[in-house]
């Protein structure tokens, strides 16, 4: 039984795993690159980061601003023996200072909204190699405008696909809701866990009130302008 916040966070990471199907689908749209260098922007506790390292055979840099999430990622990297291929950077995705053209792929799941879609496309481009790829998983709002922005900022849209609101419920929120109820029944005492449970319930309520807001989209982009 889960008795602390750390256990609960690890459980949420486990519930996040089925979403990796969609990461695979996006990854397969990209032509094979030998040992690619990948930047996972807003990596959190690294569910995509670890999978990208596994399926690409390359080196993945995970960047996030959340110290605790990065600590969890660090533990998982160690447990998986991937220390040589996963590098963790604490910092803001708004002020990244990697060398120009240093990555074959930029991967941003649930993070571009922090800087704004356009600003992300514009400012992150300099970190991509001329023949590089950017994958963005974002909320579905302003889809047509986003597609125009992709062209405006010099990318070619290779593919895109939607995740419907039911995907979020069936894959994540319904199982999360079940787990939260189970933990509640055990009368947890840890204050941090209680806060985390409350936050999870708020998130689930948010879904139930506005499920349509939870549709999301993957964009797979090629760094077209620089490669011409």
Q: Packing angle between helix 174-185 and helix 191-209, nearest 10 degrees? A: 140
**Exactly one of 92, 142, 182, 195 binds ligand SAM (CB under 6 A); which one?**
92
Segment interacting with ligand SAM, rule: CB under 6 A, options 61-69, 181-189, 191-199, 202-210 = 61-69
Segment interacting with ligand SAM, rule: CB under 6 A, options 4-12, 103-111, 143-151, 171-179 = 103-111
Residue 48 makes contact with ligand SAM by CB under 6 A: yes
Q: Which is nearer to ligand SAM, 11 or 65 (CB)?
A: 65
**Exactly one of 56, 61, 111, 177 binds ligand SAM (CB under 6 A); which one?**
111
φ/ψ of residue 221, rounded to 5: -120, 145
Q: Which of these, 71, 66, 55, lies nearest to 91 by C-alpha position? A: 66
Buried b (16+ CB within 10 A) or exposed e, 127-140: bbbeebbbbbbbbb
Residue 216 makes contact with ligand SAM by CB under 6 A: no
φ/ψ of residue 86, rounded to 5: -125, 120
Q: Which of these, 93, 148, 141, lies nearest to 120 by C-alpha position? A: 93
CB of 44 to ligand SAM, least distance (A): 3
Q: Which is nearer to ligand SAM, 33 or 114 (CB)?
A: 114
Q: Packing angle between helix 143-152 and helix 117-124, nearest 10 degrees? A: 20
Residue 15 makes contact with ligand SAM by CB under 6 A: no
Q: Which is nearer to ligand SAM, 21 or 92 (CB)?
A: 92
Residue 94 makes contact with ligand SAM by CB under 6 A: yes
Residue 64 makes contact with ligand SAM by CB under 6 A: yes
Q: Which is nearer to ligand SAM, 92 or 195 (CB)?
A: 92
Q: Which residues bind ligand SAM (CB under 6 A)?
A: 16, 42-44, 47-48, 64-66, 69, 92-94, 109-111, 114
């Amino acid at each position: 039984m889960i008795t602390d916040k750390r256990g609960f966070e690890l459980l949420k990471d486990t519930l996040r795993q089925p979403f990796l199907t969609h990461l695979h689908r996006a990854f397969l749209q990209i032509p094979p690159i030998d040992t690619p260098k990948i930047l996972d922007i807003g990596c959190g506790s690294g569910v995509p980061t670890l999978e990208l390292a596994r399926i690409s055979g390359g080196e993945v840099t995970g960047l996030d601003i959340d110290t605790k999430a990065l600590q969890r990622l660090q533990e998982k990297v160690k447990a998986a023996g991937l220390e040589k291929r996963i590098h963790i950077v604490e910092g803001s995705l708004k002020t990244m200072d990697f060398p120009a053209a240093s990555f074959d792929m930029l991967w941003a799941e649930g993070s571009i909204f922090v800087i704004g879609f356009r600003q992300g496309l514009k400012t992150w481009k300099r970190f991509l190699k001329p023949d590089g790829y950017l994958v963005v998983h974002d909320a579905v709002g302003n889809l047509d405008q986003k597609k125009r922005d992709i062209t405006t900022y010099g990318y070619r849209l290779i593919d895109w696909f939607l995740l419907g609101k039911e995907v979020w419920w069936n894959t994540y929120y319904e199982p999360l809701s079940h787990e939260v109820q189970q933990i509640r029944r055990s009368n947890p005492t840890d204050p941090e866990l209680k806060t985390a449970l409350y936050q999870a319930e708020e998130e689930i309520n948010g879904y139930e009130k506005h499920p349509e807001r939870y549709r999301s989209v993957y964009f797979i982009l090629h760094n077209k302008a620089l490669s011409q």
